[in-house]
């Protein structure tokens, strides 16, 4: 899964993530509708982190493993993007770029979907969803986005 081309046109796709041997489990899980984080297993640390790295950014241990996240988050901050000159993002404006706090602890950059910007509130409950960006290297590329959690269910 590398930054492929747009549906056979030969044009570079700037919106596709580049997977390598290390990040491939993350992107394969996303394609299956699961969000992964990394968790440190070093004694006295145990911190989860996102974006995926091969070491713990808190204690520098290399004893880190993939862990499935529950998919719950709260909105930390956001911005409504009204203009983006980089194809294909200009075709998607306006969109909400956000930072969310995952229930497991780490903060994550993402997009908010299925919610008008006027309804967003700091601390609002969110739930992960996955957006299909289309074909990558042989399979559709799915990225995690967040939408409001259903009232009273925590989902």
Is 154 inside any structural domain? no
Residue-averaged pLDDT of the chain: 88
54 located within any domain = yes
What pLDDT does 13 receive? 67
pLDDT in tens, 89-133: 878 889 999 999 999 999 999 999 999 999 999 999 999 999 998
Give mean pLDDT, residues 26-53. 96
Residue 8 belongs to some domain of the structure: no
Structure confidence at residue 104 (pLDDT): 97
Q: Is residue 59 part of a domain?
A: yes
In a domain, 40, yes or no: yes
Q: What percent of the chain has pLDDT over 70?
A: 86
Query: Higher pLDDT residue, 59 or 15?
Result: 59
Q: Is residue 60 part of a domain?
A: yes
Q: How far apart are CA 101 and CA 12, in angstroms?
A: 32
Q: Is 37 a domain residue?
A: yes
Which residues form the domain of 64? 24-148
The total number of structural domains in the chain stands at 1
- Distance, in Å, from the CA atom of 18 to the CA atom of 24, rounded to the nearest integer, reads 9
Higher-pLDDT residue of 89 and 35 is 35
4, pLDDT greater than 90: no
pLDDT digits (tens, 9 = 90+) for 38-47: 999 999 999 9
Tell me, yes or no, whether 4 lies in a domain.
no
pLDDT range class, residue 18, cuts 50, 70, 90: confident
- The pTM of the full predicted model, rounded to 2 decimals, is 0.85
């Amino acid at each position: 899964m590398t930054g492929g081309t747009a549906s056979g046109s030969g044009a570079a796709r700037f919106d596709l993530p580049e997977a390598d041997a290390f990040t491939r489990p993350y992107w394969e899980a996303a394609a299956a509708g699961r969000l992964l984080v990394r968790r440190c297993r070093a004694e006295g640390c145990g911190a989860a982190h996102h974006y995926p790295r091969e070491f713990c950014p808190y204690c520098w241990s290399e004893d880190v493993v993939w862990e499935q996240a529950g998919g719950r988050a709260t909105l930390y901050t956001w911005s409504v993007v009204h203009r983006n000159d980089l194809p294909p993002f200009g075709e998607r404006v306006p969109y909400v770029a956000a930072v969310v706090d995952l229930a497991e602890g780490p903060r994550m950059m993402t997009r908010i979907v299925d919610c008008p910007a006027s309804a967003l509130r700091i601390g609002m409950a969110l739930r992960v969803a996955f957006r299909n960006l289309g074909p990558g290297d042989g399979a559709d590329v799915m990225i995690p986005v967040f939408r409001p959690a259903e009232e009273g269910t925590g989902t």
